[in-house]
Structure 1
Amino acid sequence: MALLKLRFSLPRRVRLAQGLWLLTWVTVLAGAFTFSLGVYLKTELLRRAEVMDNTEIHVVPNILILVGLVIIGSNIVAGRICQDSLHSARFPPWKPFLLPWYGLTWMVCVWLFSAVVLSYALQGQLEESLKVGLRNGIRFYRDTDVPGRCFQKETIDKLQMELRCCGNTNYKDWFEVQWISNRYLDFTSKEVKDRVRSNIDGRYLVDGVPFSCCNPASPRPCLQYSLTNNAAHYNYEHQSEELNLYNRGCRQALVDYYMGLMNAIGPVVLSVILLQMSVLLSLRYLQTSLDGVDPENPEADSEGYILAKGIKESLMDVKTTILKVLQFGQVTAAADEEVGVGPSGEKAATSN
């Protein structure tokens, strides 16, 4: 018994073709929007590439870009099929292409759904990538004279000001690295010598942060140095001065930013999947209803359906077909071995 069988009169078939043509062009626009989302997300990830340790998260925008292009192309073809379906002589040439088109459409929906799943599943990898990338960025902050790291200071400063964050986890991460270049240190000063000697690695460590960590909402001028010394500043208590510096770490700020993008993209992608599935089912109804038209009476009613048989029977037919193909391949390989056909396709020479 056919699955979801419906009866179509001639006017109903015409309306189906016309409505489907309009739906395909709406889906083309949705594909263009999906492509644009992928490009935007890719651009945002590349913009922060210097503070990322790996590029695994790039698989999500790559899928959106690829699938967006496929949706545009496949639905332009579907729109042309809808136009030609109104003319009995133009539709039959499209029939051999419909089965591959259905398969491609299913793959598109699977790819889109996988992009939504991966956008949430890769959150842990994204956070770990940012953790390592920011840690290296803070460590190389002072290397403004080292090739390949010249712009690291500018990148970190812009990041902290734009996202209103400080450090990797918090502002105390700056206490653990020497972020001031040696060229700006007076090594004849006793204070500098004492700080360098007090560190086992010979680094100049201070309880201070770069200017980009300063919070402009603070009611007092920004305090960058001697942040843990209450006596160094008048009317100061470092445990309660929450407005002086940004309290949020840049790793959490970036994770929140990117996951916000993913959360916004998810519903849009699911809507595109629904549109694409609507095109697929409608085109299937159009195809089967046109196949059922009597050539001698093209204005008569016809029946359209999704599957010629039930779901269980259709799955069994697919299984049987796959097994036949596999058995045919095994029989062919065995026959080649018996007659001595080599890898090059020539029969092996027999010795007398």
Structure 2
Amino acid sequence: MLALGVLIETTIRDKIRFIENYNGAILPALLLSIGATSVVAHLVCGKICWTNHNPVRRRLWSRYLLPTMIVSTVIFLLELVSGIMCYSHVTELDKSFKRGILTNMKDYKDDVNVKEEVDVLQIEFSCCGSIAYTDWFRTAWIHEDYLNDLKLQSLRKSGFDDGFISDDVPFSCCSPTSMRPCIHHHVHDNDLHYNYDYRTSMTINKKGCAITLMEYYSEWILMKAGAIAIGLSFFQVRFWLYIISLVDNNIAIDHPLSCIKSMENSSARLCPDFVPASNNDQSKCFRKLETLKQENRPEIYFKQFKGFWAFGHWNSCGA
């Protein structure tokens, strides 16, 4: 979870200029906080489960098993919510990219930093415009200082105050896979270019940058992060249930009543606390066991019998 939070934080921050009306810090902060909490909680829960593995200390630490399950359940729910949020943020990020790229396209002719980042974006992701390359046809991206007299005259006649608009796109929209020299001015005017038809031999990238970015962020970042978060949540629950079941089984096996029943049946169960120290204590052992059975209070004498290992098996009172 920590790694997912860092990954989303760094990748979104890298393209933060093109994200509009979207708080990119919420999801990474949630993943980072859940990840940090999970690490601490798992260390504590692991300590509790490991300590309960020791029969001597189990009586004191077994009381913490229920809180361990509660904490694990809370972490499971938080990770499940974070995974669902990764999926839900796909739609929000898509809208934010579309708006943000269009806003930067409008500032392309006036801000050199914006121009540089837009050009780098279009070259890096082989895209053009926000949704499609035709977005540039509706955007005045050429500054008036660089318009020739004919275009300036056309601009004045049009009465369009925002700037000159034509079927032109920046050079960064050019496709490197095209063998023909790039045609990025008058893209839809077949008559101005020799042996050219924009419907079949276009030399620029057609796909919009918002579409391309979302293919990267949704499929490779958010969707995978959501799947990993949800998968981890269910895996952790299954893992902790398995650990708790092992500890619970050990507690049941080492319980005095279980040991008494085991020795009465002359089985080979491991009940060291109820094995006599020598054969001379057999009669005493049986009297104790009978008393324990009648009083149904085996815990009173739980620590009075000490076991030993001999000839590859545990001796029992019936040996």
Q: TM-score when scaled to structure 2? A: 0.73
Structure 1 segment 104-253 matched on structure 2, within 5 A? 104-144=71-111, 150-185=112-147, 189-201=149-161, 203-242=163-202, 244-253=203-212
**Residue segments in structure 1 that go unaligned for 5+ positions in a row:** 1-33, 145-149, 302-352
Tell me which moved more, 90-99 or 220-229: 90-99
In the alignment, residue 55 of structure 1 is paired with which amino acid?
Y
Q: CA deviation at 1:171?
A: 0.9
**Residue segments in structure 2 that go unaligned for 5+ positions in a row:** 261-269, 273-319
C-alpha change, 1:155 and 1:100, in structure 2 (3 Å) is farther
Structure 1 segment 298-337 matched on structure 2, within 5 A? 299-300=270-271
Is the contact made by 2:86 and 2:225 (CA closer than 8 Å) also made in structure 1?
A: no
Q: Look up the SS of the partner of 1:90 in the other structure.
A: helix
Q: Look up the SS of the partner of 2:57 in the other structure.
A: coil
Is the contact made by 2:151 and 2:164 (CA closer than 8 Å) also made in structure 1?
A: no
Q: CA deviation at 1:227?
A: 1.3
- Cα displacement string for residues 84-137 of structure 1 (whole angstroms, at most 9, x for unaligned residues): 223334344544544333222112211222222222233322221111111101
C-alpha change, 1:183 and 1:108, in structure 2 (3 Å) is farther
Is the contact made by 2:143 and 2:163 (CA closer than 8 Å) also made in structure 1?
A: no
In the alignment, residue 175 of structure 1 is paired with which amino acid?
F
Matching residue of 1:339: none
In the alignment, residue 129 of structure 1 is paired with which amino acid?
S
Matched residues in 1 for 2:162 and 2:228: separation? 53
1:53 equivalent among 5, 17, 20: 20
C-alpha change, 1:170 and 1:78, in structure 2 (3 Å) is same
Is the contact made by 1:169 and 1:252 (CA closer than 8 Å) also made in structure 2?
A: yes
Matched residues in 2 for 1:67 and 1:137: separation? 34
Matched residues in 2 for 1:109 and 1:86: separation? 24
Q: CA deviation at 1:65?
A: 1.9
Matched residues in 2 for 1:129 and 1:76: separation? 39
In the alignment, residue 167 of structure 1 is paired with which amino acid?
G
Say whether 1:88 aligns with 2:55.
Answer: yes
Q: CA deviation at 1:215?
A: 0.1
Q: CA deviation at 1:283?
A: 3.6
Q: CA deviation at 1:139?
A: 0.8
Q: Look up the SS of the partner of 1:247 in the other structure.
A: coil
Structure 1 segment 56-71 matched on structure 2, within 5 A? 56=23, 58-71=25-38
- Cα displacement string for residues 121-166 of structure 1 (whole angstroms, at most 9, x for unaligned residues): 333222211111111011111122xxxxx42111111111111110
Matching residue of 2:213: 254
Matching residue of 1:285: 245
Cα RMSD over matched residues? 2.6
C-alpha change, 1:295 and 1:142, in structure 2 (3 Å) is farther
In the alignment, residue 195 of structure 1 is paired with which amino acid?
L
Is the contact made by 2:48 and 2:64 (CA closer than 8 Å) also made in structure 1?
A: no
Q: TM-score when scaled to structure 1? A: 0.66
Matched residues in 2 for 1:122 and 1:233: separation? 44
